[in-house]
Structure 1
């Protein structure tokens, strides 16, 4: 029996046609018991590589296959096990999917026991991810409360002028002058940081570079100044402030481009100025982490549907949710400290079982026998 070294492209359709699916579950809000009329149906599952990929010359391991919208995702068996050993929340939820949400389950999946994976590492992954979402929510709250104008500020707005023993914004100072910024020549002040001497070419004979040449400039221009000229004033450039503004501007408008507009409009409508869906899942993850420490189980379907959906609808104040999250985090720390769970998943049993399952899936003993019998 020859092994085909060519590797067909892996798609969801191909996985199903070749019966490579090992596990297929409804996930997301429908698995959590938090679905509403507007909820999509998310699917997650596990597949195994065809022989042509696993034994052939195909060098690129395919860890997952998904559709264009990423609401249907299948993880390769090895990647699934790898993430379970890391106590990845998505994989732990998939492992513990309620029976009524399982669409298909190959018998070999019973070989991997949930108690091998549930460990104190879940404190870092579930609660850690939740707290990263809190930071994300804080950043989102800042973006909503402090929107940025589409017209980008000029570098000149971060400059001040020292003249007549006081400092004023450059724009205000220029309004009082009989010349424009293009007639100014700048020279770096020695032994100083972002300080410049300013000279004026009132007759436009010296071809000074001006402060900037284009409105979108990100650097001030310097000029060659004739010897003996007297500076009319001194300029200070807030380089750190300008750099931070440019980074914030880019991040804000990238967020506007990438954001889920429906979720954003929901946020605007409920008027609480935070991503309510994000905060609902933050609280959910923290509660699941606490459940794991207390019960030793991953409880996917949440018992407090109404409470969580109230958070999603924007019924709670942002600061109150942050306080609730902090209190849950403290409870989680105490619960895991007193938990009898192992510190880490059982890697040895898991990996030895993975080898056995691979043998079964590929019927390896028969495959090797056939190969040698061909000779």
Structure 2
């Protein structure tokens, strides 16, 4: 890791009231960070966590379920605990792998967080195949979208503009609320605008250095590395029921090679095709259940919230 294991002493605003856990995610947790001074370093410092709202959220009108913020160099995404569990049930790659993080990647923990980890088997299922392969497919498509004159880039920009306009129209008629739809259902308006600006080349995650890399190698090497990692992690999980989030000593150096442009686009695509086949074979041979345990997950969530608010087990209003 290039950043301190726990930066809380120097950046106290990282933690909010109600935080259940906060951890590194992305390249910091995978051991694949290329620092800014590296010629090919374009990695942000990403954190993800979960939190519990005040009690009135659960008995009143509710509050936002997803919070995105920047604190200094840290890009933070936090989910309300119920939202976090719902993403676990969908085998969301960015979320479910957090239950298998190495201790060095965890900045803040709590008894609620420990219970999630102790019960992570509730969320282990063959659904990982669709989720991880689907996300990997998306990364592969995005590899060349930012190459000039790519029609997929134009189509994505049209879709983003349409989604933003839909939300504005719905807010005018129905007022503020969650008006998201389709593939952008989990995206905030801020994230939609950021992605749109990225595609326009105005600002955002690409940055000048990353855009130069796309022009130099003919594809976005960072997306290529993500695709290979996702597929390998998915195959491993289907075979073992465990995620190896920290890729140090596994394939971290190889993934860094991809980020540095040492793999051609053709090689990334060829290895990806082979890994998709391995994933299909692993799915057929897997002993994991077909789907996560929704009932078990709900029982776990309710139990954590009861504990959080010191609700008596005899209080029938919570079941």
- Give the conservation status (yes or no) of the 8 Å contact 2:224–2:268: yes
Following superposition, the deviation at residue 108 of structure 1 comes to 2.0
Residue in structure 1 matched with residue 230 of structure 2 by the alignment: 285
Residue in structure 1 matched with residue 63 of structure 2 by the alignment: 61
Q: Give the alignment partner of residue 317 of structure 1, picking from 230, 240, 264.
A: 264
Q: Give the alignment partner of residue 134 of structure 1, picking from 132, 135, 140.
A: 140
- Give the conservation status (yes or no) of the 8 Å contact 2:146–2:153: no
Looking at structure 2, the residues matched to 147 and 336 of structure 1 have their Cα atoms a distance apart, in angstroms, of: 32
How has the CA–CA distance of structure 1 residues 68 and 105 changed in structure 2, closer, same or farther, with 3 Å as cutoff?
Answer: closer
Q: How does 1:335-374 map to 2 (within 5 A)?
A: 335-365=282-312
Q: How does 1:26-45 map to 2 (within 5 A)?
A: 26-38=24-36, 39-45=43-49
Following superposition, the deviation at residue 101 of structure 1 comes to 1.0
Residue in structure 2 matched with residue 48 of structure 1 by the alignment: 52
Q: Give the alignment partner of residue 300 of structure 1, picking from 242, 245, 252.
A: 245
Q: CA RMSD in A?
A: 3.0
Residue in structure 2 matched with residue 240 of structure 1 by the alignment: none
- Give the conservation status (yes or no) of the 8 Å contact 1:123–1:332: yes
- If each structure's strand is expressed as a fraction of its own residues, which one has the higher value? 1
Following superposition, the deviation at residue 81 of structure 1 comes to 0.2
- Give the conservation status (yes or no) of the 8 Å contact 1:283–1:325: yes
Residue in structure 2 matched with residue 257 of structure 1 by the alignment: 202
Residue in structure 2 matched with residue 248 of structure 1 by the alignment: none
Looking at structure 1, the residues matched to 291 and 228 of structure 2 have their Cα atoms a distance apart, in angstroms, of: 24
Deviations 1:195-242 (A, max 9, x none): xxxxxxxxxxxxxxxxxxxxxxxxxxxxxxxxxxxxxxxxxxxxxxxx
- Give the conservation status (yes or no) of the 8 Å contact 2:144–2:220: no
Looking at structure 1, the residues matched to 286 and 256 of structure 2 have their Cα atoms a distance apart, in angstroms, of: 30
**Is 2:127 the partner of 1:121?**
yes
- If each structure's helix is expressed as a fraction of its own residues, which one has the higher value? 2
Residue segments in structure 1 that go unaligned for 5+ positions in a row: 1-11, 149-250, 370-375
With 78-87 and 39-48 compared, the bigger mean Cα shift is at 39-48
Q: Give the alignment partner of residue 72 of structure 1, picking from 53, 71, 76.
A: 76
Query: TM-score under structure 2 normalisation?
Result: 0.71
- Give the conservation status (yes or no) of the 8 Å contact 1:293–1:335: yes
Give the length in aligned residue pairs.
250
- Give the conservation status (yes or no) of the 8 Å contact 1:46–1:80: yes
Looking at structure 2, the residues matched to 351 and 143 of structure 1 have their Cα atoms a distance apart, in angstroms, of: 47
Residue in structure 2 matched with residue 244 of structure 1 by the alignment: none
Query: TM-score under structure 1 normalisation?
Result: 0.61
Residue in structure 1 matched with residue 40 of structure 2 by the alignment: none
Looking at structure 1, the residues matched to 45 and 138 of structure 2 have their Cα atoms a distance apart, in angstroms, of: 25
Pick the structure with greater CA Rg: 1
Deviations 1:323-372 (A, max 9, x none): 11011001100111110011111111110121111111111239979xxx
Looking at structure 2, the residues matched to 46 and 298 of structure 1 have their Cα atoms a distance apart, in angstroms, of: 20
